[in-house]
Every structure is written in structure tokens, then in C-alpha cells.
Amino acid sequence: MSKVSVVATITAKAGRGDEIVAEFEKARDAVLAEAGTLMYVLHRQTANPDVFYVTELYEDQAALDAHMVGPAMAALAGIADAVEGLDLQFAAPVVVIKG
């Protein structure tokens, strides 16, 4: 099977961006324990500290499916109150330069 990627845009409620960062820090160990999760990076927009991008790379669809129902997502449930908007884009990587 081919790798699966996700690019998520998270918009926090005004002034609550630090809560997003804190919740992702809490989920660190759960994500690290996922064998099929190859990359999971939270990025903070420099122009607006309440906007984040998450880039994710999974070994295959089964790994993404496991992530979506596993301990990592449960650990991230705490961000719901701080989130104003969420956009998930599912894709297939076509050119990998490094990583």
C-alpha cells in the first residue's frame, strides 16, 4: 500500500493558540508510540499565532485509521474548546525529496 498524508489547518479561538500547543505536547508520547506514523509536525503561522498547520505522514491507510481512533487522538480531544475552525486535507505523497 502507498503512504498517506494529511495537512490540517487549525484555527484557534482568539488568543488561545498556546492551548493548542500545550495539548499537542501532551499527545507527544501517544503519537511516538504509533508505529505507522512516520511524521507528525505542528507548525505555527508566524503572522497569526492562532493559526496552525499539522503535517502528517502515515505508512498506509491502516496506520492513519489507527491514529484516528487511537490514544493520540484521544489525547488531543482537549483542544476542542480552543478550536474555532479545522480543515483536514487527505493526500498521497507524490515526490519526497527528503524524509
Residue-wise pLDDT tens digits, 11-46: 999 999 999 999 999 999 999 999 999 999 999 999
List the domain range (segments joined by +) for residue 72: 4-91
Cell numbers found for residue 19: 492551548
Question: 48: domain CATH number?
Answer: 3.30.70.100
Task: Indicate whether 13 belongs to any domain.
Answer: yes
**Does residue 61 or residue 99 have the better pLDDT?**
61
Instruction: Convert 49-80 to b/e letters by CB count within 10 Å (16 or more is b).
Output: ebbbebebbbbeeebbebbeebebeebbeebe
Residue 99 in any domain: the answer is no
Please give the pLDDT value at position 1: 64
Residue 96 lies in a domain: no
Contact 3, 93 (CB under 8 A): yes
Residue 99, pLDDT score = 66
Specify the number of domains making up the chain: 1
pTM: 0.92
With respect to residue 97, please indicate whether it lies within any of the assigned structural domains. Answer: no
